[in-house]
Amino acid sequence: MSHREHVEELLNAIRRSKLNAFITVDYEGARQQAEGADAGELDGRLAGIPIAIKDAISTKGLRTTCASKMLEHYVPPYDAFVVKKLREEGAVIIGKTNMDEFSMGTSTETSFFGPSKNPWDLERVPGGSSGGSAAAVAAQETDLALGSDTGGSIRCPASFCGVVGLKPTYGRVSRNGLVSYGNSMEQIGPIARTVEACAALFEVIAGYDPWDSTSRDAPVPQYVAKLRDEIAGLKVGVPRDFFGEGVDPVVENATWEAIAVLESLGVHAKETSMPNLKYALSAYYVQAMSEASSNLARYSGIIYGHRVQKNHDWHTTFSENRASGFGNEVKRRILLGTYALSAGYYDKYYLKARKARALISRDFQRVFKQFDVLIAPTMPYAAFKIGEKIEDPLSLYKVDINTVPINLANVPSLSVPCGRKGHLPIGMQIIGDQFNEQLLFNIAFQFEQNTNNRHAV
Amino acid sequence: MITKTDVEQIARLACIDLNEEDMQAFTMQFNAILEYFEALEDIEAELTEQEEDNVLRADEVTPSLTQQNALANAPKVENGYFRGPRIL
């Protein structure tokens, strides 16, 4: 099959889809790029391979909304660093995927463009915030996708949709061109149906970028070439703190069964504990909200973005633009972040959250002296129903209990399918020390080769 | 305990105009969330290490956006400028 024919198949699947996984589909651009690949005009490691991009990542000339009314008509004048890399390697960008508004959510229900649906059960959420990306990969509406993960936004939908997703080490992938939400914690990362495809995409997007002051100048390993390296003898820690109250016993069992498979392949697993994880959820939300209140101050509706058509003064105009441009979850986080940073509350919330983050990082440093990787359930349960939690923000925050510690510690974590609850996928996360993504891929690859958790929708 | 007046004050600081209904709902939700955050109160730790290191690059002049590109997304433009709201 030619690249053009393959892309046409995907575009047809998207057109017929009930998932609402895409906000913008670039039909013409995708066809042209695929034709270019067929004509041999594109070369590179991803030549002719279709990819969908989370709508929080800037694409030159292609609308980038962040699933917000605020940016409904925003067309970036430049490509994000990762998008430039994709183009250099010949990838075919087919469209921009649905997400929680400004990446704030765990279900893709806060999107201005309506919720995406889980391809395994249309009444359920695909997870979030990169829900459109994971759903589109699972339903074969694209081969690859990019998401971003501030507190679980790649791993949660990967787990709920039964695909592979990586949250890289902080600083491994440039954030240049990623719309900021919680900038001290977020990373762009790959989503794919197989570990090998995930590693191949990661190899392309990782690397130093002088335009991101938190990007780290470390060599990018050849993850795919080393994918089949031996895993026997590796030490796996299983922190019991990830199996707390609220974790579905079915998820718990699936994780332990996966660990048993790895033990049969020669790894040594042992329980451990990380007592400061009990602070992780509060520390994450205080810090993310504080950063959000600052990062989203730029949306005034003057230089770009939504603007009301009234002749008011500055303050009233800004306040009305922001009131009508942002959805409720975005408003909640900006307001709570403003509160946490305000005089009199800074020490009580923000400073305490920073201290909790330091304690959690030290917990990770300690266990990585003893273990090569950690394994834990990605999510406490399988995908929940659309509408089930959206009315109670705190209950939705608590869904992130197992994913947020990783972002606070700046370490990488790979979510891979490890079982099912009925028809719904369950994912486990393999967590590594900073810049140790290779080990995560190697373990996940061996696990994938020796189990049968991959199913087409 | 956070009151509706507090929420109104925060909303003014954050430049987000809230209606009565939102203000009431947010007040309730914020109290539940902030109560959950109280878990952080018993933390005693020293912040010693520098957790994030910024990597600086040389400040060299390179081509930037053209005026046309810079203005392309602006809701109101006049004579090559962004048009803001009135001052008074």
**In this complex, which of A211, A282, A306 lies closest to B39 when CB atoms are compared?**
A282
A81-88 and A195-205 helices, crossing angle to 10°: 110
| B65, part of any domain | no
The 10s digit of each residue's pLDDT in A361-394 is 999 999 999 999 999 999 999 999 999 999 999 9
Judging by DSSP bridges, how do beta strands A235-239 and B77-78 pair with one another?
A: unpaired
The 10s digit of each residue's pLDDT in A82-122 is 999 999 999 999 999 999 999 999 999 999 999 999 999 99
Picking from A22, A26, A21, the residue whose alpha carbon sits closest to that of residue A135 is A21
Structural domain range at position B18: 4-40
**In this complex, which of A213, A282, A332 lies closest to B29 when CB atoms are compared?**
A332
Q: Does B1 touch chain A (CB under 8 A)?
A: no
Surface of A (161-180) touching B: CB under 8 A: none
Q: Which pLDDT value is given to residue A457?
A: 67
Surface of B (69-88) touching A: CB under 8 A: 69-70, 72-76, 82, 84-88
**What is residue A424's three-state secondary structure?**
strand
Picking from A31, A10, A32, the residue whose alpha carbon sits closest to that of residue A22 is A10
Concatenated DSSP letters of A242-302:
GG-TT--HHHHHHHHHHHHHHHHTT-EEEEE--GGGGGHHHHHHHHHHHHHHHHGGG--SS
| B82, part of any domain | no
**Cβ B86–A311 below 8 Å, yes or no?**
yes
Q: Which of A113-117, A269-273, A355-359, B61-65 has the lowest mean pLDDT?
A: B61-65
The 10s digit of each residue's pLDDT in A312-364 is 899 999 999 999 999 999 999 999 999 999 988 999 999 999 999 999 999 99
Structure token digits, residue A52: 């969908």
Are A418 and A454 a contacting pair, CB within 8 Å? no
| B9, part of any domain | yes
Mean per-residue pLDDT, B52-81: 89
Look at chain B and report how many structural domains it folds into: 1
Rounded Cα gap, residues A446 and B28, in angstroms? 49
**Cβ B55–A352 below 8 Å, yes or no?**
no
Which one of B7, B13, B43 makes the best mutation probe of the A interface by having the most chain A beta carbons within 10 Å?
Answer: B43
Mean per-residue pLDDT, A20-43: 96
Structure token digits, residue B31: 């109290």
**% of chain A with per-residue pLDDT over 90:** 97
- Catalytic residue list of A: 54, 129, 153
**Cβ A304–B74 below 8 Å, yes or no?**
yes
Question: Taking the CB of residue A92, how many other CB atoms lie within 10 A of it?
Answer: 31
| B85, part of any domain | no
Q: Does A391 touch chain B (CB under 8 A)?
A: no
Are A441 and A414 a contacting pair, CB within 8 Å? yes
Which one of A69, A287, A302, A335 makes the best mutation probe of the B interface by having the most chain B beta carbons within 10 Å?
Answer: A335
A418 vs B57 pLDDT, higher one: A418
Write phi, then psi, for A94 (nearest 5 degrees): -95, -20
Q: Chain B partners of A292 at a C-beta cutoff of 8 Å?
A: none
Kindly tell me if the per-residue pLDDT of B52 is higher than 60. no
Structure token digits, residue A311: 């002749």
Per DSSP, A403 falls in state T
Rounded Cα gap, residues A437 and A443, in angstroms? 10
Which one of A276, A281, A282, A362 makes the best mutation probe of the B interface by having the most chain B beta carbons within 10 Å?
Answer: A282
The 10s digit of each residue's pLDDT in A36-81 is 999 999 889 999 999 999 999 999 999 999 999 999 999 999 999 9
Q: Chain B partners of A279 at a C-beta cutoff of 8 Å?
A: 39-40, 43
**In this complex, which of B51, B57, B82 lies closest to A210 when CB atoms are compared?**
B57
| B14, part of any domain | yes
Distance from CA of A248 to the nearest CA of B (A): 22
Kindly tell me if the per-residue pLDDT of A127 is higher than 80. yes
Q: Which pLDDT value is given to residue B45?
A: 81
Write phi, then psi, for A306 (nearest 5 degrees): -65, 135
Mean per-residue pLDDT, A419-428: 97
**In this complex, which of B22, B48, B88 lies closest to A313 when CB atoms are compared?**
B88
Q: Which pLDDT value is given to residue A453?
A: 80
Kindly tell me if the per-residue pLDDT of B53 is higher than 80. no
Surface of A (234-273) touching B: CB under 8 A: none
| B60, part of any domain | no
Task: Give the start-to-end residue ranges of the domains of chain A.
Answer: 3-205
Q: Which pLDDT value is given to residue B75?
A: 94
**% of chain A with per-residue pLDDT over 70:** 99
Write phi, then psi, for A417 (nearest 5 degrees): -65, 135
Surface of B (36-75) touching A: CB under 8 A: 36-37, 39-41, 43-49, 51-52, 54-57, 65, 69-70, 72-75
Give me the amino acid identity at B26: F
Give me the amino acid identity at A356: A
pLDDT-based confidence at residue A142 (cuts at 50, 70, 90): very high
Q: Chain B partners of A357 at a C-beta cutoff of 8 Å?
A: 51
Q: What CATH number has the domain bearing residue B32? A: 1.10.20
Write phi, then psi, for A275 (nearest 5 degrees): -60, -25
Q: Does A294 touch chain B (CB under 8 A)?
A: no
| B87, part of any domain | no
| B45, part of any domain | no
Which one of A79, A302, A309, A364 makes the best mutation probe of the B interface by having the most chain B beta carbons within 10 Å?
Answer: A302
**Cβ A342–B43 below 8 Å, yes or no?**
no
Q: Does B23 touch chain A (CB under 8 A)?
A: no
Q: Which pLDDT value is given to residue B54?
A: 66
**Cβ A323–B17 below 8 Å, yes or no?**
yes
Rounded Cα gap, residues A311 and B68, in angstroms? 25
Q: Which pLDDT value is given to residue B50?
A: 61
- Give ipTM to 2 decimals: 0.94
Per DSSP, A59 falls in state B
- Contacts (Cβ under 8 Å, ≥6 apart) of A343: none
Residue with tokens 């004048």: A77
Q: In A113-194, which residue ranges form alpha helices assigned H by DSSP?
A: 131-138, 155-161
Q: Does A395 touch chain B (CB under 8 A)?
A: no
Rg, chain B, Cα only:
22
Q: What CATH code is assigned to A3-205? A: 3.90.1300.10
Give me the amino acid identity at B65: L
Mean pLDDT of chain A: 97
Q: Does A344 touch chain B (CB under 8 A)?
A: no
